[in-house]
Amino acid sequence: LKASVQSDQTAGGNIGMDSVGDTLQRLRETFSAGRTRPAEFRATQLEGLGRFLRDNKQLLQEALARDLRKPDFESEVSEFSMAQHEIHLALRNLRAWMKDEKVPRSLGTQLDRAFIRKEPFGLVLIIVPWNYPLNLTLVPLVGALAAGNCVVLKPSEISKNMEQVLAEVLPRYLDQSCFAMVLGGPEETGQLLEHRFDYIFFTGSPRVGRIVMTAAAKHLTPVTLELGGKNPCYVDDNCDPETVANRVAFFRYFNTGQTCVAPDYVLCSPEMQERLLPALQSTIARFFGEDPRSSPNLGRIINDKHFQRLQGLLGCGRVAIGGQSDQSDRYIAPTVLVDVQETEPVMQEEIFGPILPIVNVRSLDEAIDFINRREKPLALYAFSKSSEVVKQVLARTSSGGFCGNDGFMHVSLASLPFGGVGASGMGRYHGKFSFDTFSHHRGCLLRSQGMEKIYSIRYPPYTPRNLRM
């Protein structure tokens, strides 16, 4: 196991594999004792998360810069403010979300109380990827703690600076009896998954999602899988190319393209492509200057493995814009590819980098067929001045989420569920959806011992009277 893993006592919450069993046992005892159930306890943990963000902002921002060279603006909007908003929302609504939900009753249950109780699952495991390493740690954590669970957190070993800050600092802000962190990569996570959890919340690739779900199946543990895939972006002929170029480029190159909901490829007619290319060219120059390599607004690829994978993808189709790369700096220029074949790797795997292929289709129908022939994506984008066209794409396809005439703005709204469908995942979170995801919805009916005369008409021996009940 990696050196960063220390004993319970010294690291305050980070545990070595040899003591995983003991730690899980300790968390289970906390849960069984009912310690995490009161709203006050939950609120204290959420406030702790808020303080963690405020007190350590610079440290966290530096970690994001070291791991991904993430521009401060991008860290602010996609990491800090989303996490802060979720904490704030959960604190403001905690008691309302925790309340039993009354439900309509039938004639035969008129005298009873019927309600849904949101109860915590117990011991929850949260596994995190590297691309938004703070957001994707804290936002699920808010939901799990608000719902009254004990949590084991497994941050990504790949965003190693963030992993280190989380390991050293985060446990100090949470009650040690309900929270622990396990560090490590595939091997350690595999060992961790052999243990029994009451819920597993995984964000990462579909490949590892299958591993997680297989491990969960052994214990019949329910899962949320927040996965990735290729998000289509249909651009209709009836569009303003400058507006589309701005919006598509902003969301494609945000976080250097390393975003699960980034528009992965554009589908448009050859005529639209002719109009879009010069617009994309000037947008990219405006965003990142003539030499994007020296721009403070463009991050870097997370590691050499991903750099090499992306460099391989630059060989697909024909480079229309960008295409430069430098291994020493893990730099890949914002790139647009054209003449791309459906069978090429860039159209087979999730790109997860600053490369945008354009695939030509002759009509809206052909675009919809293209989308529907493939796995259901995490996000789908349609651009058109005609709301009819946007509505048609929405109505005739399926995806985790959808946004008309922009990039992943839908993800910024905590009032919308965020999650995949089919190969892009299962389950949903953000805002109240997170609270509900981390709560078992227990259907309850409370009846008194009175009225036995009336209720006795249901008992055997059955007569025609029973059927009239």
Contact residues toward ligand NAD (CB under 6 A) are: 127-131, 136, 154, 156-158, 185-186, 189-190, 203-205, 208, 211, 226-228, 260, 350, 352, 378, 420, 425
Dihedral of CA atoms 44, 48, 49, 54 in degrees, nearest 10, equals 140
Residue whose pair of structure tokens reads 């005439």 in the numeric block:
405
What is the C-alpha separation between 380 and 394, in angstroms, rounded?
Answer: 8
What DSSP character marks residue 260?
T
Element (H, E) at 335: strand 335-338
468, 135 contact by CB (below 8 A): no
User: For residues 189 and 273, which CB has a smaller minimum distance to ligand NAD in the complex?
Assistant: 189
What is the C-alpha separation between 418 and 308, in angstroms, rounded?
Answer: 31
Q: What tokens does 105 get?
A: 């009753």
User: For residues 145 and 378, which CB has a smaller minimum distance to ligand NAD in the complex?
Assistant: 378
What is the C-alpha separation between 214 and 99, in angstroms, rounded?
Answer: 34
Torsion sign, CA atoms 344, 374, 299, 402: positive
What is the C-alpha separation between 258 and 74, in angstroms, rounded?
Answer: 12
User: Up-side HSE of residue 178: CA atoms within 13 Å toward CB?
Assistant: 26
300, 328 contact by CB (below 8 A): no
AA identity, residue 354: P
Question: Please, what is the minimum distance in Å from the beta carbon of residue 309 to ligand NAD?
Answer: 11
Q: How far is CA 399 from CA 84, 429, 449, in A?
A: 27, 15, 49
Diameter over CA atoms, the chain: 88
Q: What tokens does 284 get?
A: 């990219």
Q: How far is CA 232 from CA 226, 309, 316, in A?
A: 18, 21, 18
114, 458 contact by CB (below 8 A): no
313, 355 contact by CB (below 8 A): yes
Question: Please, what is the minimum distance in Å from the beta carbon of residue 178 to ligand NAD?
Answer: 21
User: For residues 244 and 310, which CB has a smaller minimum distance to ligand NAD in the complex?
Assistant: 310
Residue number of the CB atom closest to ligand NAD: 228
SS (H, E, C) 282-313: HHHHHHHCCCHHHCCCCCCCCCHHHHHHHHHH
Q: What tokens does 75 get?
A: 């860290």
Question: Please, what is the minimum distance in Å from the beta carbon of residue 128 to ligand NAD?
Answer: 5
Rounded to an integer, what is the distance from CA 80 to the centroid of its chain?
Answer: 15
Question: Please, what is the minimum distance in Å from the beta carbon of residue 189 to ligand NAD?
Answer: 3
Residues annotated as part of the active site:
226, 260
What is the C-alpha separation between 100 and 34, in angstroms, rounded?
Answer: 18
DSSP-assigned states of every residue in 160-227 = HHHHHHHHHHGGGGS-TTTEEEE--SHHHHHHHHTS--SEEEEES-HHHHHHHHHHHHHTT--EEEE-
